[in-house]
Structure 1
Amino acid sequence: MRGNHSAVEPKRRARPTRSPVPACFAALLAALLVPGLARAERPTEGGLWPYDPKDSLVFFDHPGGGLRVHYSADGPSVVPLADLDGDGVPDYVVRVADTAAAVLALYRDAFDLRPPRSEAEHDLGLLGGSEALDIYLVDFGGSADGHFGHDACDPDACAGHLVLENDFAGYGYADLAEAVDTVVSHELFHAVQAAYAVDLPVWFSEGTAVWAERSYRADSRDFLRFCDAYLADTGRSLFKPPAGPVPSFAYGTGLWWDFLIARRGPEFVDALLQIGGAAELPAAIAGLLQAHADDLRPAWLEFAAWNLATGEHAGARDSHPYAAELAGVAAEQEVFPLADDDRFFSLTARYYRLDHPGGPLWFGLAAPAPGLEFTLQAVAGGAADGPVEPEALAWDGAEPEPRILAELPAGGYWLAVVNPVLSDMSIRAHLCAADTRDGLACVEPLPAPETTGDESSGDSTGDDSSTGDDPGESDTAGESDPPGDDACGGCRTGSPALAWLLPLLRRRRRK
């Protein structure tokens, strides 16, 4: 199903507006129809989008077989009637049928996917007059632009039909070709999904259908727009979209499926669909990755890193092939020193931009946060913001003690906080970063130093030899002993070329 969406902006985020997502989902339908539990009436029978009695209905059978397109030659749902080739069938109807045939051929040949089921396999007779997959062209009146309706289900799979917009007049597509390519590839993938499972969670069913749009049309603008909706809310768990009618976030998980399928190969699509109906789908996906010599944790960490390198942050490290075309992520905060106290949910990432003045970068946690992974990525060329470089440092949240991560040149940096742990529980973390130990807001301040020596005489000219420095110089009050050789507390360098960041100077400040 497809329809109008507006992404809910998460707290503390501000994003530039983008062109509106074209109409592609009816909220009412999402609330009323549960796949596999109710038979959807066809437009010839009534339902949410019925033909009008004034419609003059005819059909076109695709010469390749297996597809029948029903349309109105006159009436409220009339299709564009232009017939430039003079074959007696409106060109728009032929375009829909040819596109559907090409899409199904792609799903079969490139991904070895099952074909959609026919209603004849469920002893329903010939609902559309033949065993072919039926496509109905109706006027949605702007409420939607496509829908896959279930005709019948058994415990394992469903058969159904497609309903598509009759002319796309007033919709936000660039032209009819883009509209038909987008909606046909999306809805036909729902028909393929139905051949594998009766009921699928929306973040899986809609996300993989959006992936399918790009699999058919690599320049899919619809895919990019939905990916932007996901990138606007990366602090939300992949498998827990907002409640209510299907939100853009659920469609936007297509970004994850595109990443994962590119990582594992085209045969992975069939494997995903075979487990799509699992009761604990996230755990099933993790197990499937392990069966393919992969693991969810490193996959999610790479996905989170690629997502940062999108939009204006793309171009200086590996990322999605279309990274520069995305809106990119927004910073949770853009302040320095940094402090944040929040819960980090399963399979999420949050990003913080730091304007570092140069010198040491201190980091601390109020308490251990095992499971969280942190990375620091520099903005290329020492700029305040722009393309990000590969990770300079990576560490986990097991050790909360404040420490110097590195000596850094002045410039912009991005701190990513990633929860790659598959769990129903969040991880609470109070984190902070600053250029001095005293600037860390999430850790206890150092205790005041104890006084030593005879203070009664008021003599301040005593022997300073204990400092090991010139007379008249002493340690600055409140400064801690510098960290030892393992000062980063578990930091890992992302690149040998950046190893110079790690050595720390054991030094004292002078009055």
Structure 2
Amino acid sequence: MAKSPSRALLAALTVPLLVVSGLTATTTSATAGAAAAGGKSTPARAAEARAALADAQAVLSGHAGRPTRDATMMLLRLVQLRDELTGADRAAAARALDRPVLAHSACTASNCYHWDTTGSDAVPVGDTDSDGTPDYVEAAMATVDDVRSTYSGAGYRTPEPDGTLGGNAQTDIYLTDVGDQGMYGYCTSDQQVPQGGPYDAWAYCVLDNDFKASQFPTNTPLENLQVTAAHEYFHAVQFAYDYYEDPWFMEATATWAEDELYTDVDDNLQYLATSPLSQPGRPLDTWADSGADDGAQYGEWIFFRFLTEQIPAAEGGLPTLVRDMWRRADGSAGATDEYSMQAVESVLADRGVDATAAFAAFAAANRMPQRYYAEGAANHYPVAAPAGTVKLSSGKKDSKWLVATVDHLAAATARFVPGSGLSSRAWKLKVTVDLPAKSTGTTAVVTVAKRSGAPQVLVVPLDASGGGSKKVVFGSAGVSYVEVTLVNAGTSYTCWNGGPYSCMGTSNDDGRKLYVRAVATK
């Protein structure tokens, strides 16, 4: 992966931010939380199980209406809840989770592959070397085996053995026409994992049998095979750590991983439209369920791209940061078993980085992604419009107090533009902020967009109560605008209540009022 050509510039932003400042970790473990979430059978859990069945049936029947990767999480939720089902519903769940039955099989040293040569699931017939294994199957073997080797070489756990299912204990890859149902592929598990843990599980994967252009009009068939294999096999790896982990974290890191392995395919760019780049006001750890899915969890890969560009230490060709987060999230017997944001905070702290400061740096960098991401300019990373723009002038030097209501792990940006009478370079802008107490994880970053040269990016120093100010250059002769990015990096949750955020919970930090005022002065 190419590294940011402007890391030195971003370092100017992150150095004052990325200093450990007393990280306060939550104490609820993911194991205890998942056990609580599992708990005893109740009418509410039975209803949730029926909803999970309906979601799985919908995605498997192709109701997504576009090529999608939703099946893995939908089926995973069904696996987690299937014991709550009875009668016909339980039988329907078993059918949804059944492995495909295909006529042909072959195994490599790492995985076993299954395919058909006739019927609706038939792979393309070409067999250039006349060895009896179709070319497409050989391409799938080479691709998935290489994916597995890359992850293993980078220090990730390999998928767990599944006994004799599929013929032997190796991970099984089934090639079927899932494109007909609007899917790239999926991985799931048919292991019965007890509600009380441990939470690691084996996996099997289903990939499309040809990725033909009529079903997948973007990228070549090989490119779609590559990124799907990288994405879905990473889910199989994740299951070997914790298949009860937060789904936003599963999908965001899997989407990050596919880009790390196949950076030139760039299939994950499609998700930036619903990422923190485009929607900074939506919490980073949002899981958008099947009833309101706009791909939020896929777009959240950009956070891990930002972090690994800033902390690029690697093993086996992949940054170690995300791997170490999964090691902290490990729910196997005797492991740490932190939930998603706990794992993120812990691994950053291990590297001397404060998570609040890192998120603030991320939010600020997203205002100029073309400068602060290695591929930001070439791949036209989107930029959200400011939450508000105020033009100041010699007749209106004071913006008065402006307020933004900002949810957790989200941000809002106010832009101040020098207008008439403020052309002289002698003009300054005094930015004052009034935020909740500093301990809540709120902060503010000022970006001065100069007419030439690099922007100036500064953190507003805060007192304990959340007040602070900063004075920067403002005259229109040298400055196009000044932005103040108000950041709520709060990570306090009420866990395991079925919420859409980390620890499958709800945030205690949403709806924070952040105030900013800007005054032009000399």
Q: Which has the larger radius of gyration?
A: 1
The correspondence for 2:200, drawn from 153, 157, 163, is 157
The correspondence for 1:179, drawn from 218, 224, 239, is 224
Q: What is the distance in 2 between the residues matched to 1:420 and 1:428?
A: 11
The correspondence for 2:429, drawn from 358, 361, 364, is 361
Q: What is the distance in 1 between the residues matched to 2:249 and 2:463?
A: 30
For 2:415, give the aligned amino acid. R
2:369 maps to 1:331: no
Tell me which residue corresponds to 1:373. 443
SS at match of 1:336: strand
Check the 8 A contact 1:49/1:139 in 2, yes or no: no
The 5-angstrom pairing of residues 393-404 of structure 1 reads 394-396=460-462
Check the 8 A contact 1:309/1:388 in 2, yes or no: no
The correspondence for 2:233, drawn from 166, 188, 200, is 188
Q: What is the distance in 2 between the residues matched to 1:293 and 1:80?
A: 52
Q: What is the distance in 1 between the residues matched to 2:78 and 2:456?
A: 44
Tell me which residue corresponds to 1:422. 491
Tell me which residue corresponds to 1:269. 322
Show CA shifts across 1:65-118 (max 9, x none). 121211110101111112223322211111111001101111111x21111111
Distance change in 2, residues 1:178/1:73 (3 Å): same
Check the 8 A contact 2:241/2:326 in 1, yes or no: yes
Distance change in 2, residues 1:61/1:427 (3 Å): same
The 5-angstrom pairing of residues 177-256 of structure 1 reads 177-230=222-275, 231-245=277-291, 247-256=294-303
Cα offset, 1:249, TM superposition: 1.3
Check the 8 A contact 1:353/1:412 in 2, yes or no: yes
For 1:184, give the aligned amino acid. A
Distance change in 2, residues 1:153/1:234 (3 Å): farther
Show CA shifts across 1:47-75 (max 9, x none). 378769xxx7212323xx12121111010
For 1:376, give the aligned amino acid. V
Cα offset, 1:379, TM superposition: 2.6
Cα offset, 1:200, TM superposition: 1.1
Cα offset, 1:213, TM superposition: 0.1
Tell me which residue corresponds to 2:139. 95
Tell me which residue corresponds to 1:483. none
Distance change in 2, residues 1:77/1:388 (3 Å): farther
Q: What is the distance in 1 between the residues matched to 2:233 and 2:487?
A: 35
2:132 maps to 1:132: no
The correspondence for 2:211, drawn from 142, 164, 168, is 168
Q: What is the distance in 2 between the residues matched to 1:93 and 1:400?
A: 59
Tell me which residue corresponds to 2:515. 431
Show CA shifts across 1:314-360 (max 9, x none). 23xxx121111143221233521466433222222223333222334
Check the 8 A contact 1:51/1:77 in 2, yes or no: no
Check the 8 A contact 2:111/2:172 in 1, yes or no: yes
For 2:512, give the aligned amino acid. R
The correspondence for 1:143, drawn from 164, 169, 182, is 182
SS at match of 1:412: strand
Which range moves more in the overlay, 199-208 or 321-330?
A: 321-330
Q: What is the distance in 1 between the residues matched to 2:113 and 2:208?
A: 12
Tell me which residue corresponds to 1:285. 344
Cα offset, 1:244, TM superposition: 4.4
Q: What stretches of structure 2 of length at least 5 have no aligned partner?
A: 1-54, 84-89, 314-318, 332-336, 392-398, 493-507
Q: What is the distance in 1 between the residues matched to 2:390 and 2:169?
A: 65
Show CA shifts across 1:383-405 (max 9, x none). xxxx9723156344867889783
Q: What is the distance in 2 between the residues matched to 1:32 and 1:113?
A: 21
The correspondence for 2:409, drawn from 331, 334, 347, is 347
Check the 8 A contact 2:431/2:516 in 1, yes or no: yes
The correspondence for 1:299, drawn from 341, 358, 377, is 358
Q: What stretches of structure 1 of length at least 5 have no aligned partner?
A: 6-19, 121-125, 437-503, 506-511
Q: What is the distance in 1 between the residues matched to 2:280 and 2:359?
A: 12
Check the 8 A contact 1:21/1:172 in 2, yes or no: no
Cα offset, 1:196, TM superposition: 1.0
Check the 8 A contact 1:372/1:397 in 2, yes or no: no
SS at match of 1:323: coil
Check the 8 A contact 1:363/1:431 in 2, yes or no: no
Ranked by relative contact order (alpha carbons within 8 Å, sequence separation 6 or more), the top structure is 2
Cα offset, 1:303, TM superposition: 1.7
Show CA shifts across 1:116-170 (max 9, x none). 11111xxxxx221122211111112142111111021542310120011112222
Q: What is the distance in 1 between the residues matched to 2:362 and 2:514?
A: 24
Check the 8 A contact 1:365/1:429 in 2, yes or no: no
Check the 8 A contact 1:331/1:350 in 2, yes or no: no
Q: What is the distance in 1 between the residues matched to 2:72 and 2:435?
A: 46
Check the 8 A contact 1:187/1:209 in 2, yes or no: yes
- Calculate the TM-score normalised by the size of structure 1: 0.69
Q: What is the distance in 2 between the residues matched to 1:330 and 1:375?
A: 16
Check the 8 A contact 1:369/1:429 in 2, yes or no: no
Distance change in 2, residues 1:331/1:426 (3 Å): same
- Number of aligned positions between the proteins: 398
Which range moves more in the overlay, 237-246 or 266-275?
A: 237-246
Distance change in 2, residues 1:388/1:326 (3 Å): farther
Distance change in 2, residues 1:419/1:404 (3 Å): closer
Cα offset, 1:211, TM superposition: 1.1
Q: What is the distance in 2 between the residues matched to 1:217 and 1:205?
A: 18
2:117 maps to 1:73: yes
Show CA shifts across 1:159-215 (max 9, x none). 120011112222133101110111000111011111111311111100111111012
Distance change in 2, residues 1:407/1:213 (3 Å): closer
Show CA shifts across 1:13-66 (max 9, x none). xxxxxxx99612346972883454559x9xxx95378769xxx7212323xx12
Q: What is the distance in 2 between the residues matched to 1:390 and 1:35?
A: 50
Over the residues paired in the alignment, what is the CA RMSD in angstroms? Answer: 3.5
Cα offset, 1:363, TM superposition: 4.0
